[in-house]
Structure 1
């Protein structure tokens, strides 16, 4: 049975490395394209190379006898074909998942990281494996000069940006308001609140120079809705992102720039892995979630894709909560 899938990972690497390098077939048309994949269609009697068979009228299904799958290029346009996205915090977690999915849907991606260079390189590899361009840039979103430099270099090397995803952020827990230090407050608010503001400012300026249009997607947290005891600065910052989304969406409506915000609940990322690895903490967290599980970064990425694509054109100024029902419960995040 033939199923629909995105041509990435195993089959693409197999076709590129084994066949394109040996000039046995042209796989350039597969880059960044949707395909139909049919597992288990290899034939041991066929020589070790790709072969074309008639799968549908006037179409050819290229079958690989190494990974036992077939790839059939479709004519449909990818959701982000020809777009260029800048994704902060894309070295891990939700940001990595968003950058990867955007590339699979046709976008080139500027991968912005702060400290995890290896994570950024891994994201860039994932982007390039599906035939898109990746640019790795180190930047501190809490520093407006660093933000401006990242945007300038991204435009110079990739071209005009059409999508901004604000995903960089840090956590801040373990201290009550009466005990928290100034430095910790400053770091959280500068990274989690001012960082997205600085990025939005640069993006809007660039889009206005280009004649308008564009998408801004910010990743906040259900902490913007719920009490966050011993993590007040974090909750303040995330609530501020909801306000920024509403205000900015009105300011740039005439520019036809969509501005939306995603508020995830408990998502399995490096930031939350410690809590999920601790049996007692995990049970306590999952007991508050009606779905009784942590979300996956890819689930957030799919919503971000909708908001960044033409499918979300009539949506702006909104916060989208995706939390397995957590915010429907009483209590903190």
Structure 2
């Protein structure tokens, strides 16, 4: 990306789950495009320090890290207030924090199911509420971008909580977008497919397992976080000023149902 591309100059962004994976790549991209950035994390000080060092190496614009449990309403409110206290305003919220764990439909653990919903859906809801209140408190509106997944629309057997959370987050995106479209607030989502992050440690470093995953991807390869970050930067920028309520799937074609590449149904 050319150094002169400063689409986000003067903007302030909070990126949850920003210490690693897609969130860190988004933070780095935003800084390259001129934004002031805060990265949210939960008890991940070592990765947060590494991420801050990486951001400052790109541009020493005083990025900050905020340790907070987004499943708490009061903590979510405090994270938004911390950004406003540090930078004077917040313009962009990226709800990226999330995790998955097995929750088989006939035998899931209730606490495990609830934990996924609390982080992947409720945390985004609490932060969105706080961000929207701030956006409405001053001129200029604001932008929210949620990290969903291809599993917003593709079922994931054995991971019912994750699929339910991402589907819910997709519809939260659309609902908030419609509710606040006439007040300068845009709400969109990015739906990644298979990405080489810690969440996919089970297969990303195992050549045979990775090949099995990539065989299902029409484009034939799993994404790096840097393949996903530009999608967030576009949706955060004025180039997307007429886009709201949409999920942009960055998935290598997974949502095209690749098993239908050869016609077998008619």
Are residue 139 (structure 1) and residue 68 (structure 2) matched? Answer: yes
Distance 1:180 1:330, change over 3 A: farther
SS of match in other structure, 1:85: strand
Please give the alpha-carbon distance, in whole angstroms, between the structure 2 residues aligned to 1:327 and 1:285.
14
SS of match in other structure, 1:235: helix
Instruction: Report which of the two structures shows the higher radius of gyration computed on alpha carbons.
Output: 1
**Contact 1:141–1:195 (Cα < 8 Å) also in 2:** yes
Please give the alpha-carbon distance, in whole angstroms, between the structure 1 residues aligned to 2:165 and 2:172.
10
SS of match in other structure, 1:271: helix
How much does 1:178 deviate? Answer: 1.3
Structure number with the bigger relative contact order (C-alpha 8 A, sep ≥ 6) is 2
Are residue 245 (structure 1) and residue 242 (structure 2) matched? Answer: no
2:263 equivalent in structure 1:
none
SS of match in other structure, 1:156: helix
Aligned residue pairs, count:
258
How much does 1:212 deviate? Answer: 4.3
Unaligned runs of 5+ in 2: 260-266
After superposition, where does 1:265-276 map in structure 2 within 5 Å?
Answer: 265-276=193-204
Out of 33, 37, 40, the position equivalent to 1:105 is: 33
How much does 1:280 deviate? Answer: 3.2
**Contact 2:68–2:79 (Cα < 8 Å) also in 1:** yes
Please give the alpha-carbon distance, in whole angstroms, between the structure 1 residues aligned to 2:120 and 2:236.
21
TM-score by length of 2: 0.93
1:288 equivalent in structure 2:
216
Out of 183, 186, 189, the position equivalent to 2:111 is: 183
Bigger proportion of residues as strand: 1
Bigger proportion of residues as helix: 2
Out of 253, 278, 283, the position equivalent to 2:206 is: 278
TM-score by length of 1: 0.75
Deviations along 1:112-136, whole A, 9 cap, x unmatched? Answer: 1012211111221222221322111
Please give the alpha-carbon distance, in whole angstroms, between the structure 2 residues aligned to 1:317 and 1:5.
29
2:188 equivalent in structure 1:
260
Please give the alpha-carbon distance, in whole angstroms, between the structure 2 residues aligned to 1:122 and 1:210.
34
Are residue 81 (structure 1) and residue 39 (structure 2) matched? Answer: no
Please give the alpha-carbon distance, in whole angstroms, between the structure 1 residues aligned to 2:2 and 2:172.
36
Deviations along 1:247-280, whole A, 9 cap, x unmatched? Answer: 0001111211111011100011111133112233
How much does 1:281 deviate? Answer: 2.1
1:302 equivalent in structure 2:
230
Out of 83, 97, 101, the position equivalent to 1:168 is: 97
Please give the alpha-carbon distance, in whole angstroms, between the structure 2 residues aligned to 1:301 and 1:133.
21
Detail structure 1 runs of 4+ shifted over 4 Å in the superposition: none
**Contact 1:245–1:260 (Cα < 8 Å) also in 2:** yes
**Contact 2:218–2:252 (Cα < 8 Å) also in 1:** yes
SS of match in other structure, 1:161: coil
Deviations along 1:89-143, whole A, 9 cap, x unmatched? Answer: 0010000000011011111111110122111112212222213221111011111
After superposition, where does 1:11-26 map in structure 2 within 5 Å?
Answer: none
1:62 equivalent in structure 2:
none
How much does 1:283 deviate? Answer: 2.0
**Contact 1:110–1:134 (Cα < 8 Å) also in 2:** yes
Deviations along 1:28-83, whole A, 9 cap, x unmatched? Answer: xxxxxx2xxxxxxxxxxxxxxxxxxxxxxxxxxxxxxxxxxxxxxxxxx7101111
2:262 equivalent in structure 1:
none
Unaligned runs of 5+ in 1: 7-33, 35-76
